[in-house]
Amino acid sequence: MAPKSLLKTLKYKPQVQLNMDDLKSVEKEMASIWVKPKMEMPSPTPQELVKWAKARELQCVDEAGNPVEGWAARIAAMKLDGRLWYNEESKMWHRRGIEE
């Protein structure tokens, strides 16, 4: 054991030992608390499908297959009209109306 003067110099503070006996019960409790319901992608309505078809007809691409208006504008338009849907659970964007 180190002398008290050394402990004061190093500003050592003893840590309280954790009891690891009940770790499994704590994990079970935490799992039941943090379970979120599954988020399902909303199915498109017939009105949305018609609107999306018209939007796709108006979109133009260049020789390389990139949108003429730019990718940022194309993605923003898809977010506005609902073709892209953000899933909070997976933190990803998904295309609606496409069977995956």
Whether the pTM exceeds 0.85: the reply is: no
Query: Which pLDDT does position 68 carry in this prediction?
Result: 92
Q: What HEC string does the chain produce? A: CCCHHHHHHHCCCCCCCCCCCCHHHHHHHHHHHHCCCCCCCCCCCHHHHHHHHHHHHHCCECCCCCECCCHHHHHHHHHHHCCEEEECCCCEEEECCCCC
State which residues of the chain have pLDDT below 70: 1-2, 7, 12, 18-37, 98-100
Query: Which pLDDT does position 66 carry in this prediction?
Result: 92
Domain spans of the chain?
46-95
